[in-house]
Amino acid sequence: MILRYDSIATELPPPSDPDPAGAAAVQELMGGRFGEMSTFMNYTFQSFNFRGRQGARPFYDLVANIAAEEFGHIELVATAINTMLTGSTPTNGRAGTSVALKSPLAGVKGIGNPQHFIAGGQGALPQDSTGKPWTGLNVFSSGDLVEDLTHNFFLETGARNNKLKVYEMVEHPVARALTGYLLVRGGVHQVAYARALENLTGADLTKLFPSPRIPTDKIPECKPHIKRGDHLRLYRFSPSDYLELAAVFNGPHPETGEELTVVDGAPEGVPPRDLPPQPAVFAPDYAPAEIAEIAARLREQAGLSKEATGVVAENGKKRTKAATSKPRSRARASAKR
């Protein structure tokens, strides 16, 4: 089972100049062969299918636990796409100038992925950068542990390759912040699968690094995460399970020589932004003020506070909507940040 937090893994910049073409390119990191949906579903299915798991517990724990982090990476890629699409259609919707009234979506014709606007409400889709839907053919789950771990190492290597290319293709600050973070975290997962293979077989995979040759220590958007030590940490995404990660995720980082560590608990994360409505694509179309009124009434009837309890970020600051709401309490044993 998965326990969910209403947070995103790291801070992304707020909406600025919209970039629908860049958002379409970022879709490769969502639903491409080497995208986050693929890492998530590969490790998820491998963990579901893992036979003899008690005897191989550290390896089972590693695959199952990394799957949980990948869910958050899908969420982060979606957040980046949604942020970059914000404002790319007229925000006065169908009630603006006569041109906007006649063809409010004309401005995005031929730019980016038309389905972002036609099939979706300026939101992320489970597709790659050419609009092809993500497919289960991207999942490799042979049941052979060495084969699966070797595949996972290759998958993380390809994922980092794709992330760097998106970084180099899309200059938008949100895409840069996203890829900077994912390059560092993908690097940890790449090292984790290499260490698992080394511990299991005795093969010296340190000689494969860096692969691909990405100087993350020189990429500005990677630097804060490396400075924080996030290139060395594997987070344990469970209050009570997956306790044997440290049995395989250990030893020196193959590029820096620093000690790898397991951290109890998920990363703290940050509150998601409440992105504004995009009326030209009917998102959301049903009168928002009326929905808010209904929601307030239902909360009251349920004995909850009249104000919404969720936490959202605005202008980089946390904003708590209800004065009575408390910070999230989490069953985190000793997350060191």
Residues forming the site for Mn ion (CB under 5 A): 39, 70, 73
Looking at the Cβ atoms of 10 and 278, the one nearer to Mn ion is: 10
Q: Minimum distance from CB of 305 to Mn ion (Å)?
A: 36
Structure tokens at 311: 């936490």
Alpha helices by DSSP H, listed for 105-260, are: 115-118, 145-169, 173-201, 223-227
Helix (H) or strand (E) holding 41: helix 36-48
Tell me the one-letter amino acid at 222. C
Q: Minimum distance from CB of 235 to Mn ion (Å)?
A: 12
Looking at the Cβ atoms of 69 and 264, the one nearer to Mn ion is: 69
Looking at the Cβ atoms of 43 and 117, the one nearer to Mn ion is: 43
Looking at the Cβ atoms of 70 and 244, the one nearer to Mn ion is: 70
* Distance between CA atoms of residues 165 and 142, nearest Å: 29
Q: Minimum distance from CB of 37 to Mn ion (Å)?
A: 10
Minimal CA–CA distance to 125: which of 171, 74, 170, 174? 74
**What number of residues does the chain have?**
337
| Look-up of token digits 């179309």 | 285
Looking at the Cβ atoms of 122 and 162, the one nearer to Mn ion is: 162
Q: Cα–chain-centroid distance for residue 187?
A: 14
337: Cβ–Cβ under 8 A, 6 or more apart, which residues? 228, 267, 268
Residue nearest to Mn ion (CB): 73
Are the beta carbons of 166 and 26 closer than 8 angstroms?
yes
Q: Minimum distance from CB of 154 to Mn ion (Å)?
A: 14
Are the beta carbons of 85 and 77 closer than 8 angstroms?
no
Give the β-pairing of 233-236 and 261-264: parallel
Q: Minimum distance from CB of 70 to Mn ion (Å)?
A: 5
Q: Minimum distance from CB of 22 to Mn ion (Å)?
A: 20
Q: Which value, in Å, is the radius of gyration of the alpha carbons in the chain?
A: 21
Q: Give 3-state DSSP helix, strand, coil % of the chain, rounded to 5.
A: 45, 10, 45
Looking at the Cβ atoms of 73 and 172, the one nearer to Mn ion is: 73
Looking at the Cβ atoms of 73 and 273, the one nearer to Mn ion is: 73
DSSP 59-89: HHHHHHHHHHHHHHHHHHHHHHHHHHHTTSS
Q: Minimum distance from CB of 42 to Mn ion (Å)?
A: 11
Looking at the Cβ atoms of 70 and 230, the one nearer to Mn ion is: 70
Cis bond upstream, residue 173 (ω within 30): no
Cis bond upstream, residue 284 (ω within 30): yes
Q: Minimum distance from CB of 239 to Mn ion (Å)?
A: 22
| Look-up of token digits 């200059």 | 171
